[in-house]
């Protein structure tokens, strides 16, 4: 099946307790009254080869998202939000509420439920951020059909595992692979505390401006590799910038989250691999096992959160104007 097939199909309003609908049950476009839970087809999928060494294009899967609007009739600019490895949580809720106050529609996608996953933080190989690229582009495709959304002003914003998705989705390769000719593409990418250690050639060319936000004390997805990534992108003439928040840990914008040591999560902070392509081949499992550790720190930082709110609001005002 071509990767662009079934890109824009959706079902609206199924209760969250219901099973995911099938591809044949989805509708091709959204109406002006559609909001709340939206089930939609991803833009194909990226499946592992049997030996796990590469990713290949495969059939779409059906996942869901929560669509919300600010007051008014629109059309509104929109932000698609991609959760981290623990699934949808307080960070996405807080950001979606803030974004709607600022006049943006929000679509918080759930990459896990349609795949029968609850989290991947304790098993990083269950689903990688790169494998979620089709989720973002499927969300873009269906969101662009909504009469109350301006299809030319849509950004992708991801957190941690979703930040990895955002970095990978920002590549020209991703746009050219998953956006059909003549269809809207993302106007901006905002990645919060992504994992920047893996180097692949496609990430050197972005399809739209990229903004990274990360904590100085992040011991799960460290700031250093992201700083070096942005420096490399700038040298290559790409529109990229990074904000490093002093004294902030991973998930610093998760309001109310006490300082916590997560003992069982996979931590690749000391891993650093260069691969020939975004699709692999990937390092063998024994090489990953040698650098992978268990445990990471997360903590809400009120000052960093407020700083990030101001910064992102200004970035979106500039990039989606």
Query: pLDDT tens across 150-202, in order?
Result: 999 999 999 999 999 999 999 999 999 999 999 999 999 999 999 999 999 99
Say what the pTM is.
Answer: 0.94
Rounded distance between C-alpha atoms, residue 209 and residue 186, angstroms: 9
pLDDT band at 4 (very low <50, low <70, confident <90, very high): very low
How much is the pLDDT for 11? 65
Residue 125: predicted pLDDT: 84
Question: In whole numbers, what is the pLDDT of the chain averaged over residues?
Answer: 94
Half-sphere exposure of 190 (CA within 13 A, CB side): 24
Q: How confident is the model at residue 89 (pLDDT cuts 50, 70, 90)?
A: confident
Q: What angle do CA 174, 176, 179 make, to 5 degrees?
A: 90
Q: Is the pLDDT of residue 84 over 70?
A: yes
Q: Is the pLDDT of residue 16 over 70?
A: no
pLDDT at 97 over 90: yes
- What local confidence, expressed as pLDDT, does residue 87 receive? 92
Report pLDDT for 264. 95
Query: Is residue 4 a contact partner of residue 180, using CB atoms and an 8 Å limit?
Result: yes
Q: Are 158 and 166 in contact (CB under 8 A)?
A: yes
Looking at residue 168, its pLDDT comes to 99
Q: Distance (Å, rounded) from C-alpha 104 to C-alpha 78?
A: 5
pLDDT band at residue 119 under the 50/70/90 scheme: very high
Print burial letters for 86-115: b (CB count within 10 Å at least 16), e (below 16).
bbbeebbbbbbebbbeebbbbbbbbbbbbb
Strands 188-192, 210-215: parallel, antiparallel or unpaired by DSSP? Answer: parallel
153 touches 55 (CB < 8 A): no
10-319, what's its fold?
Rossmann fold (3.40.50)
- Whether the pLDDT of residue 17 is over 90: the answer is no
Residue 247 above 90 pLDDT? yes
Confidence of residue 15 (pLDDT cuts 50, 70, 90): very low
- Give the domain ranges of the chain: 10-319
Quote the CA–CA distance of 217 and 318 in Å, as a whole number. 28
């Amino acid at each position: 099946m071509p990767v662009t097939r079934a890109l824009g199909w959706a079902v609206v309003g199924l209760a969250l307790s219901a099973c995911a609908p099938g591809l044949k049950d989805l509708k091709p476009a959204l109406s002006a009254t559609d909001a709340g839970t939206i089930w939609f087809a991803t833009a194909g999928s990226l499946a592992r080869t049997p030996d796990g060494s590469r990713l290949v294009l495969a059939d779409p899967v059906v996942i869901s998202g929560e669509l919300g609007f600010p007051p008014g009739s629109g059309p509104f600019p929109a932000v698609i939000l991609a959760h981290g490895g623990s699934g949808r949580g307080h960070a996405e809720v807080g950001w979606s509420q803030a974004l709607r106050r600022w006049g943006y529609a929000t679509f918080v996608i759930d990459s896990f439920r349609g795949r029968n996953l609850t989290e991947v933080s304790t098993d990083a190989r269950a689903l990688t951020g790169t494998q979620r690229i089709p989720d973002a582009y499927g969300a873009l495709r269906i969101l662009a059909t909504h009469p109350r959304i301006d299809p030319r002003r849509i950004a992708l914003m991801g957190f941690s595992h979703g930040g990895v998705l955002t970095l990978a989705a920002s590549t020209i390769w991703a746009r050219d692979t998953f956006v059909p000719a003549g269809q809207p593409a993302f106007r901006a990418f905002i990645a919060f505390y992504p994992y920047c250690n893996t180097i692949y050639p496609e990430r050197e060319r972005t399809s739209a401006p990229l903004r990274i936000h990360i904590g100085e004390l992040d011991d799960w997805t460290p700031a250093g590799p992201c700083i070096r990534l942005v420096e490399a992108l700038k040298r290559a003439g790409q529109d990229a910038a990074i904000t490093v928040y002093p004294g902030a840990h991973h998930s610093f914008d998760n309001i109310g989250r006490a300082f916590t040591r997560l003992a069982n999560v996979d931590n690749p902070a000391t891993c650093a691999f260069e691969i020939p392509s975004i699709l692999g081949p990937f390092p063998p499992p024994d090489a990953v096992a040698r650098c992978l550790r268990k445990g990471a720190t997360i903590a809400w930082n009120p000052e960093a959160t407020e700083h990030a709110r101001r910064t992102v609001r200004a970035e979106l005002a500039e990039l989606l104007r």
